Amino acid sequence: MADVEELKRLAGIEACKFVKSGMKVGLGTGSTVKHTVIELGRRMAEEGLEIVGVPTSLATEKLATEVGIPLVVLSEINGLDIVIDGADEYDSKFQLIKGGGAALLREKIVAQESSAMVVVADDRKKVSTLGAFPLPIEVTPFSHEATVRTLSRLLDCRVNIRMAGDGPVITDNGNMIADAHTGPTISDPESTESDILLIAGVVQVGLFNNMCDAVVLAGSNGVETVINPNGRL
């Protein structure tokens, strides 16, 4: 396990090579990308890197502040140069499942506002077909039981509200997370995303389609960077 954690740390640091002075940077959420945030703070303190950041969660906001990254409000700037974030799964077409950390709504808003997206992951996240990782779907608390039933019928699988102890996980936006246990069956993630978003109680779904430009991958042979040939980098 220590080896896996060290590789994740190295991958998080490697992703920082895409960041240059003057950039506006989306700061992702998760156990791997936290190393990116820490490294960016180090480069600012020791190497004179000049950036501003937009965090995708309250946890990342706290970490970025601790390491000295100045933060700005997304609505007050004209887009971002890059976002570096994690993923729970990605396929050969660089389509993603995200939301294991319950930050998918803010993550997708930041990703859509970014000119490029770099994902930091370990090789366990690479799959031939998305869905082995339960698909996170952010839903409104209002009549969430009805939303879960509709999702279950649509996706033909078990859907449950994510729990933390005796109560549901509540996102930074005050919503809940429904996890859809589709299994590795999401062969057309774009149409799946569209269908799910038609349900009124759904706020957002953790399918990040046509957004990822590169994956910095930690694996048994070390760290490698895979560039999306159809991407923006």
Please list the active-site residues.
Answer: 107
Distance CA 51, CA 113 (A): 16
Distance CA 208, CA 88 (A): 11
**191-213 b/e (C-beta count within 10 Å ≥ 16 → b):** ebbeebeeeebbbbbbbbbebbb
Distance CA 201, CA 150 (A): 9
| Class of residue 17 by CB neighbours under 10 A (exposed 0-12, middle 13-18, buried 19+) | exposed
Task: Write down how long the chain is.
Answer: 233
